[in-house]
Amino acid sequence: MSWELERYSISSASFTQLAILGERLLTCTSDRFESNAKFLRPYCIAYLDQTLRNHQTGLSFSSRNPEVNSYLAQCGFSFLPHSTVSSNVIRSGKIIRLEHFSGDSSKAETHVIDWIQDTIVPCIPRLAADLRRKIVKNFWEIVNNGLEHGEGNTGVSCCGQFYPRKGYFEAAFSDYGVGIPSRVRAFLKEGSIPDEHCINWAVAEGNSTKSREESAGLGLHLLRKFLTLNRGSLQIASGSGFLENSADCREFKPLQETFSGTLVNIRIIYDNNLYTLQKRTDYGNH
């Protein structure tokens, strides 16, 4: 039995396996890596893109399963060996192709905003204009956190997919920076906080509203509230910490393997509701 999962789901076990896969890629001395994966999700592809960008000598990645290779190709995954690229298999649903942001966050702002408006917003249920602006801003903050605080050289990789039959949309954001736990521990000057507690602290309301210099939070409070109402979910993996936030649970736990940087995955249910911003922190749907 291979160490690798064949199908990656939205679970801490799958995130752990992805971290293990990333570590194996980084230490791989060959120029080609072949995976057993039969099903990858956007968060896997965003993380693989970042991992391979950080590989010292250059490494190609493919799967023994041609459908996965076709999916990777459709996602714009640039680390496929040329021999495996096939466009014969058409995957259902709408793919949000890999997008890579790098460099100064201010210079990237227009690019990021345009991408969010053009590719992410159409996959989200109807939002009133004021709420839409704030949700767009929250997505920008996810990317900006990776660019400004990630301190990595390989920017932020984003990927997503709309699953029409399942009625939801997933978007993932990966950077290879120092990660949330390091930033939070430095901010709190408390070196012993477990990674998962650091992530939980970073998403808590109020922990990102202080002056910029003092903040180590993520500022995703409104997006989390929206996801709760929408019955979507948010997963964050960084270091050996994992947080899952949904309407039914807010769970943070340690992973068995360490993630490089930060990986954020968001699932939004595509329903027929119109979401509105009622007042400062309360949101309603009609």
Partner 1 sequence: MATIKVIELIGDGSLLASDKGIRLYNAIRDQLKAGHKVEVDFTGYEYLSSTFLNHSLGQITIDFGMDPKKFSERIDVVGLNEDDISDAQLSVQNADHRRRLLEKGIDPQTYYSTHVSY
What residues make contact with partner 1 under the rule CB under 8 A?
104-106, 109-110, 113, 130, 133-134, 136-137, 140-141, 144, 148, 184, 187-190, 193, 197-198, 200-201, 207-214, 219, 277, 279-280
225 vs 231, beta carbon nearer partner 1: 225
We find the least distance from the C-beta atom of residue 214 to partner 1, in angstroms, to be 5
**CB 100 to partner 1: min, Å:** 18
The Cα 50–Cα 260 span in angstroms is 9
How far is 212 from 191, CA to CA, in rounded Å?
Answer: 21
Closer CB to partner 1, 61 or 115, in the complex: 115
Please, which residue, 141 or 251, has the CB nearer to partner 1? Answer: 141
Q: What is the DSSP string of 202-252?
A: HHSTTTT-S-GGG------HHHHHHHHHHT-EEEEEEEEEEEEEESS-EEE
C-alpha span between 137 and 102 (Å, rounded): 18
The least CB distance from residue 108 to partner 1, in Å, is 8
Rounded Cα distance between 213 and 110, Å, is 24
CB atoms within 10 A of CB 79: 19
Q: Please, which residue, 137 or 231, has the CB nearer to partner 1?
A: 137
Radius of gyration of the chain (CA): 18
The minimum distance between CB 189 and partner 1, in angstroms, equals 4
Helix, strand, coil percentages (3-state) for the chain, rounded to 5, are: 40, 30, 35
Task: Using the minimum distance from each CB to partner 1, give the nearer residue, 218 or 269.
Answer: 218
Q: Shortest distance, CB of residue 252 to partner 1, whole angstroms?
A: 11
